[in-house]
């Protein structure tokens, strides 16, 4: 898994991150979703490295084997703003002042916050199976609450979800070694059986319902948008079109004019299920960037 890549610890914004990186050329940062680790990219990252990119895949704070800092009443240590600062520090530590970022699921929210908070650092943004947190909650209806009820379950504090999940993580999260890849599955399995990781992942959702929404709404009121080109991809086997209709259209208020997107023929975990199609879509987007001379390989 990740042949030719380096596995190491690196500094985020005052926390330790586990990170795997490899290849040479323009830097790209890949951010996983819940409940995965960076290993979810193990089929995509080598394709991008072989195409001439320096590919960086961290475990987000709280996930996998990255640090799990103590939380607070506002869940701020698990805000997407805090995770975005981790990513910025990580990339600067690797010598990259500007880079492309792609995020899936919860990682898409971190990638979006990174682009909003640090526009000079982010060359382009790709979001996979996501619309902004603030947009999601603003549009929340019975259909979303029925399909995505886990947002509200994991976000509870009075009757925390950790007790339910820790009782039988395999029943709660599932996972298929044949589909994920044996090594990636082992990495994920280790993570979901760690109560500290389960707690941190719940904190991610608690932050999403509070402080993350506040940050998105503040940006909306201020008219702040993502300044870089944005690519929006969604899995045909997921429910974003059913929930939102024109998925790219949802992003227009957030992304400005340089916006592209389309479906990937896959289930939700597209990096595992459709790696070649996903890698191809990423490369095509990067090659078409206005500053393509420094991103095309």
Q: How far apart are CA 197 and CA 63, in angstroms?
A: 6
Q: Is 268 a catalytic residue?
A: yes
Give the SS3 label for residue 55. Answer: strand
DSSP 87-116: HHHHHHHTT-SSEEEEEETHHHHHHHHHHH
Residue 17 exposed, middle or buried by CB count within 10 Å (0-12, 13-18, 19+):
buried
**Catalytic residue chosen out of the listed positions 118, 166, 239, 268:** 268
Q: How far apart are CA 127 and CA 1, in angstroms?
A: 24
Q: How far apart are CA 153 and CA 187, in angstroms?
A: 25
CA angle 209, 202, 192 (to 5 degrees): 150
**Catalytic residue chosen out of the listed positions 105, 187, 212, 219:** 105
Q: Is 9 a catalytic residue?
A: no
Q: How many CB atoms lie within 10 A of CB 168?
A: 9
Q: Are strands 230-235 and 259-264 parallel, antiparallel or unpaired?
A: parallel
Burial 206-239 (b: 16+ CB within 10 A, else e): bbbbbbbbebbbebbeeeebbebbbbbbbbebbe
Count of residues in the chain: 297
Beta-bridge partner residues of 261: 232
Catalytic residues: 105, 268
């Amino acid at each position: 898994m990740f042949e030719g890549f380096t596995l190491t610890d690196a500094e985020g914004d005052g926390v330790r991150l586990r990170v795997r990186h490899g290849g040479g050329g323009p830097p790209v940062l890949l951010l996983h979703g819940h409940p995965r680790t960076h290993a979810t990219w193990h089929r995509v990252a080598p394709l991008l490295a072989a195409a001439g990119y320096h590919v960086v895949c961290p475990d987000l704070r709280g996930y996998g084997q990255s640090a799990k800092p103590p939380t607070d009443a506002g869940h701020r240590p698990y805000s997407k703003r805090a995770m975005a600062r981790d990513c910025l520090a990580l990339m600067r530590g690797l010598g990259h002042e500007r880079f492309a970022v792609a995020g899936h699921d919860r990682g898409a929210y971190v990638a979006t916050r990174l682009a909003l908070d640090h526009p000079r650092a982010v060359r382009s943004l790709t979001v996979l199976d996501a619309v902004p947190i603030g947009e999601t909650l603003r549009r929340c209806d019975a259909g979303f609450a029925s399909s995505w009820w886990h947002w509200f379950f994991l976000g509870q504090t009075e009757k925390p979800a950790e007790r339910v999940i820790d009782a039988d993580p395999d029943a709660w999260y599932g996972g298929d070694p044949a589909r994920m890849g044996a090594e990636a599955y082992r990495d994920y399995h280790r993570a979901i059986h760690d109560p500290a990781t389960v707690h941190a992942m719940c904190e991610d959702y608690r932050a999403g319902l509070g402080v993350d929404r506040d940050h998105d709404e503040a940006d909306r009121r201020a008219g702040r948008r993502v300044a870089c080109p944005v690519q929006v991809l969604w899995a045909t086997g997921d429910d974003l079109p059913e929930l939102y209709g024109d998925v790219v259209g949802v992003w227009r208020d957030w992304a400005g004019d340089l916006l592209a997107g389309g479906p990937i023929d896959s289930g939700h975990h597209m990096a595992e299920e459709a790696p070649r199609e996903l890698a191809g879509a990423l490369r095509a987007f990067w090659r078409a960037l206005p500053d393509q001379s420094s991103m095309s390989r």
